[in-house]
Amino acid sequence: MVSKAKMKEIRALAYKKFRDERGLFVAEGNKLVADMLPAFTCEWLIAHPRWMAAQGDIPVKELIPAAGDDIRKISFLKTPQDVLAVFRKPQYTIEEAHPASQLILALDGLQDPGNLGTIVRVACWFGIEHIVCSTDTADAFSPKTVQAAMGSLARIKVHYTDLETYIKKNKSVPVYGAFLDGDSVFNKTLSRHGIIVMGNEGNGIRPEIEALISERLYIPPYPPERKMTESLNVAMAAAIVCAAFRNQ
């Protein structure tokens, strides 16, 4: 049985203010929670007894059996599953994101949590271990981002920092940016290390960050003469760019 106090606290974690204050975030779904359990400290786990029975030993501080109706009351999903978990947010240091020896994805002001979650999945797929975000980028630990990342947050470290300062500190490495007037990403020689910047959904990369970019990339349509939409979704663009880097 889930107490009213627990329900209230879980619902409060929909808001970044409370996630930051408590250092907690929510994950839901049978497979997602199972993927996250080895990677993060689980404070509470609320689940249907049938899910618990299939898991064996569950590493959690407090295990709360619940009926489907209880889970539905606290769920952030339209179609709740058998389990909801509250995890402790990880603590990372920006010094781990070292572009002199690896590829780093940098996100400049992304606002959509679904796009962010998808980009986390993209990074995981292409072996990019760190994502560095401007401080105004969507929260990686919002319920929508966690769901969209589909467990990839267990393997990707997401950092928040002053992006301009971070790039300036790493000025010796190539800094790539996605633009509509760059060189084709398919024809350009790309480095195995450096920073790849993806911009805001509506405004792209802001001018002060654009000024720091040394390599402008463009994803050409096919065929070139065909009339296309104005641009690709940022998560789709990130996937294509990352694939081009890994293809070299």
80-113: pLDDT as tens digits: 999 999 999 999 999 999 999 999 999 999 999 9
Rg of the chain, C-alpha, whole Å: 20
> What is the domain-level CATH number for residue 236?
3.40.1280.10
Domain end marker among 57, 88, 119 = 88
Are 62 and 144 part of one and the same domain? no
| Domain termination site, one of 88, 105, 132 | 88
**Closest Cα to residue 131, out of 111, 112, 103, 151?**
103
Rounded distance, CA 179 to CA 27, Å?
Answer: 34
User: Could you tell me the pTM of the whole model?
Assistant: 0.94
Residues 111 and 129 in one domain: yes
Q: Are residues 145 and 181 in the same domain?
A: yes
Determine phi and psi for 136, rounding to 5 degrees.
-95, 10
* CATH number (domain holding residue 59): 3.30.1330.30
**Domain end: 50, 66, 88, which one?**
88
Task: Give the range of the structural domain holding residue 49, as residue numbers without chain letter.
Answer: 4-88
d(CA 243, CA 118): 14
| pLDDT tens digits, 121-160 | 999 999 999 999 999 999 999 999 999 999 999 999 999 9
Is-contact 101 128, C-beta < 8 A? no
Please write the tens of the pLDDT for every residue from 40-72: 999 999 999 988 888 888 999 999 999 778 899
Please give the Cα distance from 168 to 214 (Å, whole number).
Answer: 12
Two tokens at 12? 């409060």
Q: Are residues 79 and 137 in the same domain?
A: no
Total tally of structural domains belonging to the chain: 2
Domain co-membership, 182 together with 145: yes
Q: Say if residue 211 is in the same domain as residue 106.
A: yes
